[in-house]
Structures are given as C-alpha cells and as structure tokens.
Amino acid sequence: MNRISSFPPLISEDSKVLILGSVPGIKSLEMQEYYAHPQNKFWRILFELFEEEFTTDYSVKIKLLKKYKIGVWDVIDSCDRKGSLDTQIKNENYHNILKLLEDFPSIKVLFCNGQKSFKTLNKIIPNDLEIPIFVLPSTSPAYTIPYDKKLQEWSVIKSYL
C-alpha cells in the first residue's frame, strides 16, 4: 500500500461551485494534475458543457475553471491505496472542507464526483450545512455508464452559475 496525498484546491475568490473528488489516481499523481487519466471524462464534460474547444493543456483547463467560477478539490487529503480504485482506499485523512467554505464564501453549491466523495463528505460535514450537495456520476473510466448520460447529469452545474 502506498500513502498518497491530494493536491491544493483549484479555487478562486469568486468561485460559486465546488466540485469534490475523492483522491487523485495514479496518473493524476504522476502528472500532478487533477483528472489526468486520458480516459477520465471530467475535463471533456466541462469543456462540452460550456461549449469550449477541448484541450489537454492543463493551464487552459485551469482557466476554464476560473472563467466559469468552478473550484475543484478532493475530500480526502491523504490515504493508503493500491492502484487507483476508490474501493482500495484505506486509512483516510480528510480535508477541512468547512474551513474552505468559510474562506471562500462565494461557494453556493457542492458537487461530488462520484459516490466515494459523496459518502466521505457526508461523514465529515454537519447535517445542517446550508449549502446544497449533489452527487454526480463519477467521471472515472471505472464507472461505466455511457458518456452521454454522464454529460446530461453533469449539466446541472450550469444552473448554479
């Protein structure tokens, strides 16, 4: 088992939406980029939702987030995990999501990229949180519903911007 750590949040003072993953996979850790696995549909979905031309250039991806006031972070700060699957996560330490929400009061809604981040988030935040939380289908290639279905469900993000 390897101990792995997440990245700092990609967030701006005017971010309205925060998308929370679980923890980076092997390819993301190698590249030091969120959602770096070429089969992960995260970036493709966001570019398509906003009718922007897709690119693999990470700096352009970060600009897209800023342009549309979207923040990205992970619920898990560090954990032990063999491989990239969420089912292999053990001994989790969590990020202080409440502190981030305090520091970025413009965040109005949380979207969880998959069930693992949603279930973990619900363990660490109070039930009376005033911000709506939605779980979206994981963009991971391990979650095998059709791309169009993922895209359709992820389109709810636009109604909060």
Give catalytic residues, as residue numbers.
Answer: 40
Cα angle 49, 58, 152; round to 5? 20
Residues whose CB falls within 8 Å of the CB of residue 121, separated by 6 or more in sequence, listed in order: 20, 75, 97, 110, 112, 133
